[in-house]
Structure 1
Amino acid sequence: MENYKQIGVWIDHSKAHLIGFKSGQAKLLETVDSPYESIKRIDGEGKDMTRFSPNPEHASNNEHKKHNTTQNEINEYLRMMEHRLQPFEDILLFGPGTMKEKLKNRLKENKSFDGKWLSVESSDKLTDNQLLAFVRDFYKKESV
């Protein structure tokens, strides 16, 4: 990754943008697509209710299977991100939703990230230029 030590990661459930920062310049290094699918529907699949009750409070095993699949996909996504962030010293996580917090908690549990600098910021969806500006402004502000 071209010897970048500082990185900004805009992350949500569908994708992550890795933006490197070096010498006052920010550069989009990579976009990582998530294996997580928010809406799963298998052709021919019935409703998530029990056979004898139309009441949605009585969920079927299908609901548990979907939940486990979702958790496995999220864990795989976090594992991919953890592997990609290994070489960096300063890591800024930002974006909408809760995925940035999940990734931060996972990195804090990993001993190989001890001593690395982690920061979490909230932001909305941003254009490519706004992503670069967000990371550039953040690291310039931190270096002052």
Structure 2
Amino acid sequence: MKATKKLGIWMDHSIAYLMEFTSNKFVINTIESKFILNENGQNLIWPENFIRTIDQQLLITYYNKISEIIKDYKLVILFGPNNAKIELFDVLSEDERFVKIKVEFKNTEKMNENQKYDFVKLYKST
């Protein structure tokens, strides 16, 4: 019986840490977003609607990069501290290529590398 390809992704709006479920030590790959908010969430030079459009385009590019990797897996667990995982899930839900991929998400806090590894390892065993 062939093992199911599984992937754990800790993510927020700025970076995603991708960890394939394997019996070996996890290799963590990263995808960085160019989405950046300043302290008050605005850019004073450009009109707000222009900034919002740019931010949306940057997030879509970020989510598309992650999606290209996800398409090769059967089970994906998205976890992290904010709504980025839900926004990515919404993007995946609109694309037929992801219909047969089981995607789950869990709310977690910020984590260091060992905590991410432990989360995926624990999730793998369930």
| Pair in the same fold by TM > 0.5 | yes
AA matched with 2:18: L
Of all paired residues, the percent bearing the same amino acid is 24
Q: Superposition pairs for residues 44-123 of structure 1, below 5 Å?
A: 45=45, 62-123=47-108
- The answer as to whether partners of 1:26 and 1:133 remain within 8 angstroms in 2 is no
**Residue 11 of structure 2: aligned partner:** 11
TM-superposed CA distance for 1:28, in Å, is 3.0
AA matched with 1:20: E
Task: Confirm whether residue 27 of structure 1 aligns to residue 26 of structure 2.
Answer: yes
Give the distance between the partners of 2:107 and 2:5, measured in 1 at CA: 22
> Computing the radius of gyration over CA atoms, which structure comes out larger, 1 or 2?
1
Give the distance between the partners of 1:4 and 1:18, measured in 2 at CA: 16
- The answer as to whether partners of 2:43 and 2:51 remain within 8 angstroms in 1 is no
AA matched with 1:11: M
Structure 1 unaligned segments of length 5 or more: list them. 49-61
Give the distance between the partners of 1:132 and 1:116, measured in 2 at CA: 22
TM-superposed CA distance for 1:116, in Å, is 1.1
TM value normalised by structure 2: 0.87
TM-superposed CA distance for 1:26, in Å, is 5.2
Relative to 1, partners in 2 of residues 1:9 and 1:26: Cα closer, same or farther, differing over 3 Å?
farther
TM-superposed CA distance for 1:29, in Å, is 3.1
RMSD: 2.0
**Residue 52 of structure 1: aligned partner:** none
- The number of residues matched between the two structures is 121
TM value normalised by structure 1: 0.77
**Residue 130 of structure 1: aligned partner:** 115
TM-superposed CA distance for 1:30, in Å, is 0.4
Q: What CA deviation, in whole Å up to 9, does each residue of 1:98-142 have, x standing for no partner?
A: 00000111111111111111110010010101100001101201x
- The answer as to whether partners of 2:78 and 2:106 remain within 8 angstroms in 1 is yes
